[in-house]
Homo-oligomer: A and B are copies of this chain.
Amino acid sequence: MNEKIRHLREQMKRLNLEGMIVSNPISIRYLTNIQAEGTLLITRKENIFITYAMYMEDVNSTLTINDEVIVVDIKNISKDEFENFFLFCENVGFEEGYVTYAEYKKIYQRYKVNNLVETEGIVEKQRIIKDNIEIENIKKACEITDNCFSHLLTFIKKDMTEKQVANEIERYFKENEADGLAFETVVAFGENSSKPHWIPSDRKINSGEPILIDMGCKYNGYCSDMTRTIFLGCILEEYKPYYDAVLKNEILSLDQIKDGVVVKKATEIIDENLKRNNINLIHALGHGVGMEIHEAPIIHTNVESYFKENMVIAIEPAVYFPSNYGIRIEDTVVVTKNGCIPLTKSDKNYIVI
């Protein structure tokens, strides 16, 4: 059995689950590499992927013997067989955060299990700590993102629109081995940079304005996430103290965050530090990055859990002056025993193009 399914089975044991119905395609891809539509059953003795005829060939070529997953065409499963999958199981888990209420009722009907039990993000929790292959995929996504950023420094010219820059980023990712975007790119010029989730518009860039770019791609299903705020022509003096404060605290975060530190504690240090510079962070300091661009853990002053080695997270301190400007600096990093190692490595000092 592969390591990820074996680990899931151990966690299930701790929750007294004798079986589990895995429905979320991200969970299924994480556990098996399968990207086809279907349902993964973790039964007492077997791992079974139920899919459709049209996907059988593809699924079988994805799986290795080591996975120990049996693939079944849904139309060959009788009503009785569905009811027998979990025959001697008392508690069977399902993904209550993914399955709709209507699907929940269908599952109940179909498998006739004794207790259909909530699993409280069992797979999402497992995904928090990355293995070497996952980190390599994220590294590669970060490398493509860094290269794209270098390219943008010569690409962006006066009078270009936010949309033109965003389209170029997408083109670059697609033509450079990425699967595609990890999320909708933010390209914000001038006053638009004060809105954390700005959607690129037809606004043109003028000299002296900040250019906030928040971008990421996917590689083998894994995301990167990086933000840089650069300037066209020159940097106004008023921006500099805020830029310096954001940058200093981004670097300080990478130092504070390490295996064994409570999320709340590290985040409070940065928060207070920013406040001393008159910066009120209006969003979380960061978030986990993996198969999803936002995944556990949330890095916020209300989170009591610990940072652990091989978590991959994005750290993004920022300052926003509504209708005026914003500065955000963000890196994707991997947590170690001694601090964070950046996986996105683009220059973070003042960049004027």
Binding site for B on A (CB under 8 A): 94, 96-102, 104-105, 118, 163, 167, 170-171, 174-175
Contact = CB atoms under 8 A, between A and B. Distances in A.
Given A100-B100, A101-B101, A167-B171, 7 more contacts: A96-B100, A96-B105, A97-B100, A97-B101, A99-B100, A99-B101, A171-B171
Contacts of A97: 100-102
A200 to B, nearest CB: 10
Nearest to A164: B175
Nearest to A116: B101
Stoichiometry, copies per complex: 2
11 contacts: A94-B101, A96-B102, A96-B105, A99-B100, A101-B104, A101-B118, A102-B118, A167-B171, A167-B174, A167-B175, A171-B171
A96 to B, nearest CB: 4
A26 to B, nearest CB: 14
The 7 closest A-B pairs by CB, nearest first: A96-B101, A96-B102, A101-B104, A97-B102, A99-B101, A101-B101, A100-B100
A104 B105 CA distance: 12
A97 B105 CA distance: 11
A289 B98 CA distance: 25
